[in-house]
Amino acid sequence: MAMTLYHGEPTGPSLTVLAALFESGLDAELRPIDLGMAERHGGTVPRAFEVDYSVEGEGPVLVVDGQALCDSVFIACYLDDAAPGCGLRPTDPYARWEMMAWCRWMIERVAPGAAALANLAWTTPRLAALDDGRFDALIAPIASQDLAERWRETRSGQLSAEHRAASEARVREATQKIEARLEARDWLMGSFSIADLESYAWVAPMRDLVPDAFTDKPRLAAWLARVEARPSVQQVLAQAGSPQPAHAFAPGPEINRWG
């Protein structure tokens, strides 16, 4: 089984997949790309319908024996299956459902808000610095018109006061839910799982953007430290190619997943 992982800086969905790969112990060639400059669409990364129309937006792509896989939680599930005994998902049926339900909430409720705030703060300035011709060339290969429009909105810095408030509310909801969930347990599902990776990947960067959401939450703070100290996550963070890898975002989950 030959695997190649095209990934961005260690934040958001790229952090989830890189950490899951290192947890699995499987071998894969790592090819860093700049997701924030649309390099996933530049011709280097293998294309597939699922990749072009991924609801995750701009995320990593794992190529296995020529087949391109996308969406961080599903890639992590694949790696867990490919490495028996990895233990990234519970074996109990209800516990496994609970973990996947948590991840779906994270993807559909929290990630769009986190991505909106992160892109406004960190991606918009990068894209706004490009001239029109350079930007148009970057997004020209994007197959999904919805995703291309999100790139245009990101470049323009369009984010209404209502959308910003809703985004911040999603982050506060997440930190409150994690704080409550961690009563009498170290990990979100009891044992370490994909839920911890996906939640950390989206929530941890928000410390710089919605700091009040993290105030007076000792269990949350301890959990963030535990995840970051995990060897797989330390190995992921060592992949950073920029001084502030947590700020390396790109257009995220579909905007129409709001609600």
Residue with tokens 């710089």: 208
- Angle made by CA atoms 3, 230, 100, in degrees to the nearest 5: 65
Q: Which long-range contacts (CB under 8 A, 24 or more apart) does 180-186 make?
A: 182/219, 182/220, 182/222, 182/223, 183/219, 186/223, 186/226
Q: Are strands 3-7 and 29-32 parallel, antiparallel or unpaired?
A: parallel
- Measured in degrees and rounded to the nearest 5, phi and psi for residue 61 equal -130, 125
Other Cβ atoms closer than 10 A to 92: 12
**What tens-digit pLDDT sequence spans the chain (259 residues)?**
899 999 999 999 999 999 999 999 999 999 999 999 999 999 999 999 999 999 899 999 999 999 999 999 999 999 999 998 899 999 999 999 999 999 999 999 999 999 999 999 999 999 999 999 999 999 999 999 999 999 999 999 988 999 999 999 999 999 999 999 999 999 999 999 999 999 999 999 999 999 999 999 999 999 999 999 999 999 999 999 999 999 999 999 875 544 4
User: 214 is written with which tokens?
Assistant: 């993290």
